[in-house]
């Protein structure tokens, strides 16, 4: 469900010393971007997101941001919130995704949605990591797309 869908969350940016950077919460659309198995290279699956507008559209000039799944080190419900840094975050609906380079404080629409996202994302990251460690070749079917496969069945003349 998490791998094949999108979900909307609120990002509570971490304040920086740069006064030009806005600390206002922003709505994001997030999804798991499948990796690609190219001829001599693998592009890892990623957690991806893009900023949304109030109307629910995506910002035309917003760039997609990503974290590689294997770089995610922690996905946790938040038990305490530093109100000096995140004054608008609802503790019971918030969770943390931490990677080598990012620390994202995210807020779901409800406690139930937060629990679904936290558990689902943990399972996706753990499953991907365990399949890599176990050298399970089904990882390619589950987490990667083949850029040479199009929709539908292959024509008979290619199969033979």
State pLDDT tens for residues 73-86: 999 999 888 887 88
Q: Reply yes or no on whether the pLDDT at 127 is more than 60.
A: yes
Q: What band does 147 get if pLDDT is binned at 50, 70 and 90?
A: low
Pairing of strands 144-145, 35-37: parallel
Sign of CA dihedral 115, 119, 122, 124: negative
What mean pLDDT, rounded, does the chain reach? Answer: 84
Euclidean distance between CA atoms 30 and 41, whole angstroms: 25
Q: What sections of 8-144 are H helices per DSSP?
A: 111-133, 139-143
Using DSSP, state whether 63 is helix, strand or coil.
Answer: coil
Q: Reply yes or no on whether the pLDDT at 153 is more than 80.
A: no
Contact indicator for 26, 33 with CB cutoff of 8 Å: no
- pTM tops 0.85, yes or no: no
Domains with residue ranges and CATH for the chain: 6-159 (2.30.29.30)
Q: Reply yes or no on whether the pLDDT at 160 is more than 60.
A: no
Q: Of all residues in the chain, what percent carry a pLDDT higher than 90?
A: 52
- 12-69 pLDDT, tens digit each: 988 765 555 567 899 999 999 999 877 788 899 999 999 886 655 555 666 889 999 9
Contact indicator for 126, 139 with CB cutoff of 8 Å: no
Contact indicator for 35, 44 with CB cutoff of 8 Å: yes
């Amino acid at each position: 469900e998490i791998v094949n869908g999108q979900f909307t969350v609120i990002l509570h940016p971490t304040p920086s010393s740069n006064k030009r950077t806005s600390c206002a919460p922003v709505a994001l659309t997030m999804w798991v971007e499948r990796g690609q198995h190219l001829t001599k290279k693998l592009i890892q699956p990623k957690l991806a997101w893009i900023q949304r507008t109030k109307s629910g559209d995506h910002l035309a000039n917003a760039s997609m941001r990503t974290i590689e799944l294997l770089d995610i080190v922690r996905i946790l419900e938040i038990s305490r919130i530093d109100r000096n840094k995140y004054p608008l975050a609802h503790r019971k609906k918030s969770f943390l995704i931490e990677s080598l380079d990012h620390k994202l404080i995210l807020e779901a629409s409800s406690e139930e949605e937060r629990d679904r996202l936290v558990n689902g994302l943990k399972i996706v990251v753990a499953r991907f990591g365990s399949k890599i460690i176990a050298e399970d070749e089904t990882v390619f079917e589950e987490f990667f797309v083949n850029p040479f496969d199009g929709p539908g069945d292959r024509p008979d003349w290619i199969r033979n």
